[in-house]
Structure 1
Amino acid sequence: MWLLTSIFDQRLTEISVIVGILGAISALPIFKSIGNWSQRRRKHKADRLTEAIAKATRPLIESYHREHQEIMDKLADQDETSISLLHDRVYIDGQKMLDKGETSIDEIDNFIHLYQRYRKLGGNGTGEAMNRRVMDLPLKHETNTLVQEADRIHKEREEK
């Protein structure tokens, strides 16, 4: 009898294991469905949150874009104004030097500063033509120019 009970218990254990394995295998699709449902739910929540944030911040972003465009327009206007003023100065200063038929180192130094800014901002060919004419002028001899004095000042600062 003991042998019969032992075999019966062994068979019962094997059947329990088989039933457990079959149960687990048959439950996999159910767990997979639950997992998919949970993922879709999280994604839906995340999408709703993203949409709510976008809706809440849209007026702020639109306001920023408007203000940014206004600033960019003002900067473009300031550039155009600077080009116009520099063009006038390049033309007037250059014409004065051309009328004299010669120029000084100080005048050239000042003219170069004006012309470089004018060109960097996108000045047209008139300024370039004036620059070429001015650079072809003969230099008058000077002994104590501002450029020379500025060089001395820079050297003194470097020595300190």
Structure 2
Amino acid sequence: MIYGSIITAIVTGGFFSFLQFLIKRHDDEKNHVDERESLLEEALLAILHDKIYTAGQKFIKRGKISAEDLSNLDHLYEPYKALGGNSTCEKIMERVNELPIG
């Protein structure tokens, strides 16, 4: 009877240790995925910022913008803003929206 209790305790302890190991491994993988997702979001935000900034400056220097180019910039700016982009591109978009279309 005592041996049975000892064996049960060892098996149960081993089982819970293994279960704890699996949970920790899953949490570590999830943290790695979350970190990677955050870095990808930052990279996407940087690319959108660069595209909006570069194109916006070009149109501001030109002094006008076509309807197609304005639509394209709007398609870039909407996700940029939704991802938490800064006010630099917001100011550029305000200036671009004031340009005559032509």
Q: Report the aligned-residue RMSD.
A: 1.7
Give the TM-score taking structure 1 as reference length: 0.54
Q: How many residues matched?
A: 92
1:68-115 CA-to-partner distances (Å, cap 9, x unmatched) read 000000000001101111100000010111011011110001000111
Equivalent position amino acid for 1:99 in 2: K
- Structure 1 counterpart of 2:90, from 128, 135, 142: 128
Alignment of 1:10-159 (within 5 A): 54-140=16-102
Q: Higher relative contact order by CA 8 Å / sep ≥ 6: 1 or 2?
A: 2
Equivalent position amino acid for 1:97 in 2: F
Taking every aligned residue pair, what percent have the same amino acid on both sides? 32
Rg (Cα) greater in structure: 1
User: What stretches of structure 2 of length at least 5 have no aligned partner?
Assistant: 1-10
Alpha-carbon distance in structure 2 between the residues aligned to 1:89 and 1:73: 25
